[in-house]
């Protein structure tokens, strides 16, 4: 019998999965699962962390919003965080939300503003003295990316605000928030342009082939309007961004100096009077029945729109009531998004092929008889994992029902077994990677869903030199959470791969200024070449924790990398670790231990890491756990502003002494370190009679 997964291990698994899906959605603009599946994973994690608050870690996706900012765009810190909104697909949940609002407001008069949920990217626009001075993406909610030039290129963007209907002039400083999107008609035009260019490329390649020269790559069509909008908004070429023709709706105010609004409806009318594009399809509702009537009205009408919506956003209208209701670390308590059910179609599943993902995940993909669904032609769909295929009994040759979950990703819902002819074939799980031929890791997990135990059988290629993974691995290797190499972004990696200048991590450290200036026809000049080589050299001393985060060991994220570095001290020690030694660390379960052992047993990985070490990259931990410290094994919560220490510095000091740092106070908390404006965590600590320290107490304890 398989060992039952512990709550701690399940929480870690969910955190890893959701963090990876956040990266795919927010940073890479290429999601691999539907909104519904993502929401189910997140809901399970929220429930588990609520039940076991001592297991909540600061880097849990429940404590974050969206993805991390792009390393290629200038960071912008939001004065007021840009939070995400909780989703529901269920009328019952919507009614519970309404009951919760009325209960918390103690029967005060309550109104909602219901708006269309535009399927695009959230942005903030900062105006000073009526002029647009900066535009930024949501990013991780606290820090976004500067996309001012590209937002200025959007036709609907007001460069200067007009006088408002409630104020003779707009406030001196006002931050507006909205959604950048791509119209369906423009999306289709762009894909037609790509199709025409690919026809030209095919003709050119025929001539190049005759001459024995390198063939040109064909361009990939855009998958959907949302992904196209995301990629366009973050382009470094503002002229190309403007040419693609993004659009904009504005729907709120982040903050305003010298302006006081009473309701959200008032906000919408006022910013419209400033000359801002405000979607006219919104409604003030007093009851759930009115909200549902608005929902039903737009469920059909949305097909006639020239832009994608995937539901409605319901917000409490009164701004004073919103303030009373408050927010969580991730979402406002006064708003909820109601998602529409996905459209479906029937077609034939012609074949199942294996696609190697960016981190080595092997995903089965259905090749379908093309069918028109939710505004586009669909010929491929996700099958998620082998366990899902077996559970749904999906076979090659079946008639299948497909849907666009979240209006983006086609997926196979079920097979129509009653239409089988006997010629259908059962799917065979992969035993080797289709890209590199290497052995794959088979991972089996199970969970209870609606009273049924659902088994997930996934496969992972753990060869760091696998060609299908190489580009994304190299990009992540140079990113901030990893080796933090400034200038080594996607565009540079693409150039280096195109010129066959890198084939693994070690090649990055062998690049010279002369190598890079040989790309001067691609815009690489002496200064940028020198800067990149300097940044590469500086990254050699980041230490073992950063190296382990950078090399993409399956199931090991940044938190896991820190644990491994602190407990084993060197790459050599870790590579020789047994399952028992790994599992002796409380946060590491059998699955992660197996993944780590398999990773270091792979000969290709050994060679790659040996080459990396030969370049002078430090493979030892910069900090080791002091197990003799009086705080080793103790759980701390940091809250409020400390007089001299940043909370991040205090956390590092505690971790170096073997302590655990949690984001929430529970009976298992040993100490709460409280600074100025400590808030509810301090109240709870006092209620539970937990030892409370100030900064001086903490430093004395760490030094004792």
Show which residues are catalytic. 117
CA distance linking residue 644 with residue 496, whole number of Å:
44
**C-alpha of 495 from chain center:** 25
Element (H, E) at 253: strand 247-256
Structure tokens at 204: 């050119």
Of 371, 370, 394, residue with least CA distance to 383: 394
For the chain, report the end-to-end CA distance as a whole number of angstroms.
47
Q: What is the DSSP letter of 439?
A: B
Q: Most distant CA pair in the chain: distance in Å?
A: 81
b/e map 553-566, b = 16+ CB within 10 Å: bbbbbebbbbbbbb
**Contact present, 613 and 589 (Cβ < 8 Å):** no
SS3 247: strand
Given a contact cutoff of 8 angstroms between Cβ atoms, the answer to whether 229 and 119 are in contact is: no
Give which of 401, 144, 179 is closest to 310, Cα–Cα: 179
Q: Is the separation of the CB atoms in 357 and 32 below 8 Å?
A: yes
Among the residues of 318-392, which ranges form H helices? 319-325, 386-392
Within 8 A by CB and 6+ apart from 577, the residues are 568, 596, 597
Q: What are the helix (H) ranges across 427-504?
A: 467-477, 490-498
Looking at residue 66, what DSSP letter applies? S
For 226, counting Cβ atoms within 10 Å of its Cβ (0-12 exposed, 13-18 middle, 19+ buried), the class is buried
Please give the C-alpha separations between residue 419 and each of 120, 349, 397, 399, 423, in angstroms, as whole numbers: 39, 13, 10, 7, 11
**How distant is the alpha carbon of residue 141 from its chain centre?**
11
For residue 672, what are its two tokens? 């709460």
Between CA 163 and CA 151 the distance in angstroms is 22
For the chain, count helices (H), then strands (E): 25, 24
Q: Which residue has the tokens 């006081």?
A: 260
Tracing tokens 């590469």 back to the chain, one arrives at 536
Q: How many residues in the chain?
A: 704
Nearest to 259 by CA among 319, 339, 172: 172
Residue from 53, 59, 52, 51 nearest 15 by CA: 59
The three-state (H, E, C) secondary structure of 396-427, written as one string:
ECCEEEEEEECCCEEEEEEECHHHCCCCCEEC
3-class SS of residue 623: coil
Is-contact 13 557, C-beta < 8 A? no
Q: Report how far residue 397's alpha carbon sits from residue 589's, in angstroms, rounded to the nearest whole number.
A: 40
CB-based contacts of 379: which residues, under 8 Å, 6+ apart? 367, 368, 369, 370, 371
């Amino acid at each position: 019998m398989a060992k039952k997964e512990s709550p701690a291990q399940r929480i870690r698994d969910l955190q890893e999965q959701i963090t990876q899906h956040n990266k795919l959605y927010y940073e890479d603009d290429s999601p691999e699962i539907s909104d519904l599946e993502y929401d189910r994973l997140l809901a399970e994690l929220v429930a588990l962390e609520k039940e076991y608050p001592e297991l909540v870690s600061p880097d849990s996706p429940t404590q974050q919003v969206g993805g991390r900012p792009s390393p290629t765009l200038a960071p912008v810190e939001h004065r007021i965080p840009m939070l995400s909104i909780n989703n529901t697909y269920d009328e019952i949940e919507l009614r519970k939300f309404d009951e919760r609002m009325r209960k918390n407001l103690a029967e005060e008069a309550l109104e909602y503003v219901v708006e269309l949920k535009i399927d695009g990217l959230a942005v903030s626009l900062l105006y000073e003295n009526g002029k647009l001075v900066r535009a930024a993406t949501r990013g991780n909610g606290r820090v976004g990316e500067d996309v001012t030039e590209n937002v200025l290129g959007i036709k609907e963007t007001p460069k200067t605000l007009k006088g408002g209907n409630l104020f003779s002039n707009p406030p001196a400083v006002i931050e507006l928030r909205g959604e950048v999107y791509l119209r369906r008609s423009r999306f289709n035009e762009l894909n037609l342009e790509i199709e025409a260019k690919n026809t030209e490329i095919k003709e050119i390649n025929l001539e190049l082939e005759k001459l024995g020269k390198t063939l040109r790559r064909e361009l990939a069509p855009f998958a959907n309007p949302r992904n196209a909008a995301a990629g366009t908004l973050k382009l470094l070429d503002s002229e190309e961004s403007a040419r693609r023709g993004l659009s904009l709706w504005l729907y709120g105010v982040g903050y305003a100096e010298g302006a006081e609004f009473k309701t959200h409806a008032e906000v919408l009318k006022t910013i419209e009077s400033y000359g801002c594009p405000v979607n006219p399809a919104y409604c003030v509702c007093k009851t759930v029945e009115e909200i549902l009537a608005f929902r039903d009205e737009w469920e059909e009408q949305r097909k006639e729109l020239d832009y994608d919506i995937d539901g409605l956003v319901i917000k409490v209208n009164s701004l004073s009531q919103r303030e009373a209701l408050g927010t969580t670390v991730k979402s406002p308590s006064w708003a909820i998004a109601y998602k529409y059910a996905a459209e479906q179609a029937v077609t034939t599943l012609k074949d199942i092929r294996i696609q190697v993902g960016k981190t080595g995940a092997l995903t089965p993909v259905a090749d379908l008889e093309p069918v028109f669904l939710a505004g586009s032609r669909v010929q491929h769909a996700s099958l998620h994992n082998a366990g899902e295929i077996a559970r749904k009994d999906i076979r090659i040759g079946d008639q299948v029902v497909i849907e666009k979950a979240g209006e983006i990703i086609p997926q196979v819902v079920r097979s129509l077994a009653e239409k089988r002819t006997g010629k259908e074939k059962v799917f065979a799980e992969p035993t080797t990677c289709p890209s590199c031929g290497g052995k794959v890791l088979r991972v089996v997990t199970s969970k209870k869903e609606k009273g049924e135990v659902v088994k997930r059988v996934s496969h992972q290629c753990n060869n760091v030199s696998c060609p299908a993974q190489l580009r994304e691995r190299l990009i992540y290797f140079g990113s901030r959470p990893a080796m933090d190499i400034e200038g080594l972004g996607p565009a540079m990696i693409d150039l280096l791969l195109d010129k066959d200048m890198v084939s693994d991590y070690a090649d990055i450290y062998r690049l010279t200024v002369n190598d890079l200036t040989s790309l001067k026809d691609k815009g690489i000049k002496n200064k940028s070449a020198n800067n990149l080589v300097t940044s590469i050299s500086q990254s050699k001393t980041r230490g073992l924790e950063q190296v382990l985060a950078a090399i993409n060991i399956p199931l090991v994220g940044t938190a896991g990398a820190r644990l491994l570095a602190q407990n084993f001290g060197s790459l050599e020690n870790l590579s020789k670790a047994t399952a028992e030694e790994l599992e002796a660390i409380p946060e590491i379960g059998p699955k992660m231990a197996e993944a780590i052992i398999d990773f270091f047993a792979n000969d290709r990985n050994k060679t790659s890491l040996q080459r990396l070490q030969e370049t002078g990259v430090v493979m030892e931990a910069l900090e080791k756990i002091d197990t003799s410290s009086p705080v080793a094994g103790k759980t701390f919560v940091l809250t409020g502003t400390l007089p001299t220490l940043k909370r991040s510095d205090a956390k590092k000091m505690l971790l170096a002494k073997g302590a655990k740092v949690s984001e929430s106070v529970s009976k298992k908390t040993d100490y709460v370190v409280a600074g100025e404006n400590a808030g509810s965590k301090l109240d709870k600590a006092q209620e539970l009679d937990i030892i409370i320290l100030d900064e001086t107490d903490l430093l004395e304890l760490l030094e004792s």
